[in-house]
Amino acid sequence: MSDRALYLKAAEDLRPNDKQWQAYESGGHCVLLAGPGSGKTKTLTVKLARMLSEDVEDPRGFACITYNNECARELEMRLDGLGIAPGGRVFIGTVHSFSLTQILLPYAKVAGLGLPDDFQVATRRQTRAALENAHAKVIKGPENPQTWDFRLGQHRRRFLNRDVDAWKTVDPQLTRLVEAYEAELRQMGVIDFDDMPLLALRALATNAWLRKAIAAKYPILAVDEYQDLGRALHAMVMGLCFSAGIRLFAVGDVDQSIYGFTGANPELLKKLSERDDVETVRLGLNYRCGSQIVTASEYALGEARGYRAPDGAHEGTIYFHPCTGGYAAQARYLIEQLIPEIRARRPDLNVGEIAILYPAAFIGDEVATAAANNGYGVIRTDGNALYPRGSRLMRWLEQCAMWCCGGWRSGQPQVSRVIAEGARLFHELLATDDDRLEFQRDLIATLWDRRDDTLSLHDWLVSLRDEIIKPRIDRARSLADEFETLNTFINRFGPTGDVEDFPLGEFAGIGTGLDRINLSTLHSAKGREFDAVILFGMEEGRLPRNNASDGEIREARRLFYVGFTRARHEIHLMHGQHNPSRFVTEVQERLEGE
């Protein structure tokens, strides 16, 4: 089937939904306001496929920016199913990746940013050292310099234009610390994570030719999860789409804005959607959640949005579990009683379709311990996971492991996808056909000789590191931190490590999540869905936290709403016997009053 036939066939699934079809048919700037389970990813990907085929002539293409690598990966998989792979015409990635690969690496020198020709992306070790040195020069106190990291980041993201007087007057000490910190980074010849969009925005703002160059390559800009991407991205959109002429297709939901601590501001999406030169479409159906869960989710949000389940949808059920004891006792109840009850009601349910979500990673430790004591495997996507789930290198290695553990026989994942994802990781080094062919040949040879799910994970990782990654990593300017993550992970299985080595097949299973209970913070669960969701630790003082401001309470409510709407069939709310979150109490009272 041709690529055109693929998206045309997929588009027919959008036709019965008037709003999805309206977005698909839009011809200019369009903002799609899409609540949980509304089919927004399908609408976005089919629309992108259509625009690439019908509205953009080769070799021009589109750039699609999203919040994190997990979102980018999901979009890549959906577009791959429509015959579209990332490459010369298509960029799919985070705003940081877009800033680095499309603006800073090719244009930093001519854009007058003052960066050395061979600048690198800083590792965590380098950023810590830079902050320590800057603190010693500016603050000069006995405290841990890293306690300033959060405030420093907020201050940098707040002032996109440093020529205004407020940059010097609002918090002069913090401004001096930022300037000293950035000077330390430049002395090392590196930029950090926050530098990427800030420097890219500066380059775009001061160089009209650069805006034209981006528009020439990508006449269409798509933005997913717009509400999470912050002021730097919003300023880029304003310049590229409403000055340089790039067509915008943005998707988001102000009710799911939960990253205020990173600079996200839901008002930016709201203002964008209210522009006269933007067509705004609001999706009103929730295809994911049962009808009762859809109704209760508006109680969780505290706002009426008019969302409804489609006709004939299942009902879904909400359960409340006041528990005695601390988190350890509650975790034992969850694992030893609640999960067996869920499985008894739903005997065909794989435990990989159960998620336990909580406000903070340390709470997950108690659940993980109770699960291990009762023979359940878990997959964690929080700060206490074996390795960061957002690591592009580690996720690619999961794909490699899955191929070695049977994928080579079943075709899932396809070797072409494993090669393509690896090539994107090392894209800086694979500039020629010969480079790409050598990478493909080396990778297949290394994986082919290690098609055994009983192999030691430690030994398998060491082989991949030494034969494929290490020879290339020194020339990849953006992967130094990823390499440190891999080495830290490998060392945890060594003689002095804290984790007992396990077979390759278990690592491959982490990638699929089969037969493992999902443990995640509420933040990390965004964008995902499960048959049964257990919201654990839903207590006053935890969500919202004590002494929270009005803005923090609103964001905590949105976070509760995000967790609530991950569930397809069952949502369970767990809390201490006498200390339910005000959000839980409100949902329960409104359901009882119906």
* Binding site per annotation, positions for ATP: 34-41
Measured CA to CA, the distance from residue 418 to residue 401 in angstroms comes to 10
- What distances in angstroms separate CA 145 from CA 140, 175, 263, 481, 535, one per listed residue? 9, 15, 21, 21, 35
Which one, of 463, 106, 31, 38, lies nearest residue 268 by Cα? 31
- What are the tokens at 446? 């290394």
Which residues belong to the annotated binding site?
Answer: 34-41
The per-residue DSSP string of 238-292 comes to HHHHHTS--EEEEEE-GGG---GGGT--HHHHHHHHT-TTSEEEEE-B-SSS-HH
Distance of CA 197 to the CA centre of its chain: 17
Q: Residue holding tokens 């509205």?
A: 55
- Judged by DSSP in three states, 347 sits in coil
Distance of CA 474 to the CA centre of its chain: 26
Q: At what angle do helices 230-242 and 208-217 cross, to 10 degrees?
A: 80
The answer to whether residues 98 and 63 touch, using CB atoms and an 8 Å cutoff, is: yes
The answer to whether residues 34 and 253 touch, using CB atoms and an 8 Å cutoff, is: yes
Please provide the distance, in angstroms rounded to a whole number, between the alpha carbons at the two ends of the chain.
51
Measured CA to CA, the distance from residue 317 to residue 335 in angstroms comes to 19
- Judged by DSSP in three states, 93 sits in strand
Measured CA to CA, the distance from residue 193 to residue 232 in angstroms comes to 13
